[in-house]
Chain A
Amino acid sequence: MAGFFTVSIIQSAMELGCIYALVALALFVSYTTLNIADLSTDGCFTLGCAVGAIVTLSGHPFLALFAAMGAGVISGFVTAFLQTRLGVESILAGIIVNTALYTINIMVMGFSSNVNIFKASTLFSIAHDLLEGIPLMGSWYKLFVVLIIVLTVGILLAWFLNTMLGLSIRATGDNPSMVRASSINPAFTITAGLMLSNSFTALSGAVLAQYQKSCDINYGTGMVTIALASLIIGESLIGRGSMLTRILGVIFGSCLYRFFVALALRLNIPAESLKLVSAVIVAIAISFPYLKSKIALYRQMQEAKQRHGEHK
């Protein structure tokens, strides 16, 4: 195993896992909590990536993260506005915003489909300079940065979901008829929830831009499926317990997903077919809980049959 998985493979899987975990956390808010499939995720991720790259390029790597989150908040607001004020179906609202974001993302990148920020200083280059000379930190500084970001977001999210607004958002997705009879305005909670989730998605994009030192219009393609797979892996492994435990489970699920992808790459699957591999992993991860229950039922039936046979 040690020969098969080198340290650097594990390292980069963990790094990417933590970065993409932010999108999985976004879906944890919109999909698991609010029960809305937010299909603007792909576009919003690229939006965060583009805004993050441009602001980083102008010499503000920290500001880049917050600028990207702000852009995500606006994108989430528009998606929510279409749903709650203009009566557009939630899935359709996401698709519309996703389409619009394609153009906006090209515009953000200065009417180009990609941006390179190789020369700009990023959070990672700053951390590299700061941690230089500290033993063991040599190659782990990237993981260190992304861990801090994802854990901060995770802990803040766990806190938020237990505040009154957080509980209201959870109730909105959990029991619409209860919400109608209590003083919660679903239009407000859906808007707040989608603004929050899209800020995470965009943050993830911004961190990836600094990590890859570039932004490409295609970075976000398929993001919603990948994040959903991470979320479902995390939820089916660690789906119970306190809010913080569940959130850590989602982060863990995202890292695990990256290990699966790394595994696939190690098996010499060509890079061009990576999206196909992703789709297969996603399909397996999503159907796994269903298949598990089917298999359990099948076993039960087999046992019952056997017992029947004994009685004869």
Chain B
Amino acid sequence: MLELKSVSKTFHPGTVNEKQAIKKLSLILPEGDFATIIGSNGAGKSTMFNAITGNFFVDEGEICLDGEDITFVPEYKRSKYIGHLFQDPLLGTAPHMTIEENLTLAYLRASSGNKGLFRMVKAEDRERFWKALKTLDMGLEDRMKQPVGLLSGGQRQALTLLMATMVRPKILLLDEHTAALDPATAEKVLAQTEKIVKEQQITCLMVTHNMNQALAMGNRTIMMDSGRIVADISGKERENMTVDGLLELFRKNVGEGLDNDRILLSGLN
């Protein structure tokens, strides 16, 4: 379970560029919840993710993961149990290392952390990697000895997803992780995401700019604006929600229309 208790963060305080990216943000995400997040540019979606991963320490508030206060735990210590995928597929894997080496690193780190520095991959682990790659259905299982730099963006993102979930994370953060992929590949990676999250019952937050997707995936939808959560729907209310209804809800709660072209355009199809 993830808890954010009135978390705030201001960038460049005391300068002309001062920007309060998140304001007294509170969120409780129970175990196994899969929430999608939409919001205009600069709404604080990525800032919220970076606050959770510890990319920076927040100015105010408290962050708890599974009851443990992680507000001031350094990033590299938290990331052992937080999976984080970015929009840029190049960010999550090491290009000059092979697929197998990338998987090995992710697997060993998540399963043993900083203990067992000299551990190596075993034959049975390799078997596991092979099976996991096979489920991606991208032919990667036969290319385990190839450097990751040779893969396409979609393949790299699928691999990153696998690396993040090979050992079940306490929370998985997906920051528009399919936005930079071509539609067919994005579809594939999304289906894979849904499958893995469901199978392992991973607590998950997913930022998307696609409103249909925001309503179709997961069990909860959160709308953000100017560093705040402006709508949070789940259950019956969400089941009956349409894209137009979502826009209407946004207008009602914020007082003005949503200003993200990408989001608005995605509502058309």
Contact = CB atoms under 8 A, between A and B. Distances in A.
Interface in B66-106: 74-77, 79-80, 84, 86, 90-97, 101, 104-106
A2 interface: no
A160 B117 CA distance: 10
A170 interface: yes
A164 B53 contact: no
Contacts of B121: 162
B55 interface: yes
Contact of A178 (B77, B91, B110): B91
Interface string A162-174: 1111011011001
A178 B94 contact: yes
Nearest to A160: B118
B112 interface: yes
A interface majority secondary structure: helix
Contacts of A186: 76
B117 A164 contact: yes
Contacts of B114: 183, 185, 188
A6 interface: no
A163 B118 contact: yes
B76 A183 contact: yes
A180 B106 CA distance: 13
Contacts of B106: 182
A184 interface: yes
Interface in A169-202: 170-171, 174-175, 177-178, 180-186, 188
Nearest to A183: B80
B95 A174 contact: yes
Contacts of A185: 74, 76-77, 114
A183 B119 CA distance: 16
A164 B118 contact: yes
Contact of B92 (A160, A163, A178, A184): A178
Nearest to A175: B94
Interface string B184-198: 000000000000000
A164 B116 contact: yes
B256 to A, nearest CB: 34
Contacts of B74: 185
Contacts of B101: 162, 167, 170
B204 to A, nearest CB: 16
A181 B53 CA distance: 8
Given A162-B120, A183-B110, A175 B79 contact: no
A170 B109 contact: no
B117 A183 contact: no
B223 interface: no
Interface string B201-225: 0000000000000000000000000
A254 B102 CA distance: 30
Contact of A174 (B53, B97, B116, B118): B97
Chain B interface residue bracket vs A: 20 to 34
B113 interface: yes
Contact of B84 (A162, A165, A181, A184): A181
B79 A181 contact: yes
Contact of B105 (A168, A177, A180, A188): A168
B108 interface: yes
Given A174-B97, A175-B94, A183-B113, A167 B108 contact: yes
Contacts of B91: 175, 177-178, 181
Contacts of B112: 164
A235 to B, nearest CB: 12
Contacts of A181: 53, 79, 84, 86, 91-92
Contacts of B94: 170-171, 174-175, 178
Contacts of A165: 117-118
Given A164-B109, A183-B109, A174 B117 contact: no
Contacts of A162: 101, 104, 120-121
B113 A174 contact: no
Given A164-B117, A183-B76, A178 B109 contact: no
A183 B77 contact: yes
A109 B246 CA distance: 78
Interface string B121-158: 10000000000000000000000000000000000000
Contacts of B104: 162, 164, 167
A162 B77 CA distance: 22
Contact of A163 (B75, B76, B117): B117
Contact of A164 (B76, B93, B96, B119): B119
Interface centre among A160, A164, A174 (most CB of B within 10 A): A164
18 contacts: A162-B101, A164-B104, A164-B117, A167-B101, A167-B108, A168-B105, A170-B94, A170-B97, A174-B94, A175-B93, A175-B94, A180-B76, A183-B76, A183-B79, A183-B109, A183-B113, A184-B109, A185-B74
Given A162-B104, A170-B94, 15 more contacts: A162-B121, A163-B120, A164-B117, A165-B117, A165-B118, A167-B97, A167-B105, A174-B94, A174-B95, A175-B90, A175-B93, A178-B94, A180-B76, A181-B79, A183-B80
Interface of B: 53, 55, 74-77, 79-80, 84, 86, 90-97, 101, 104-106, 108-110, 112-114, 116-121
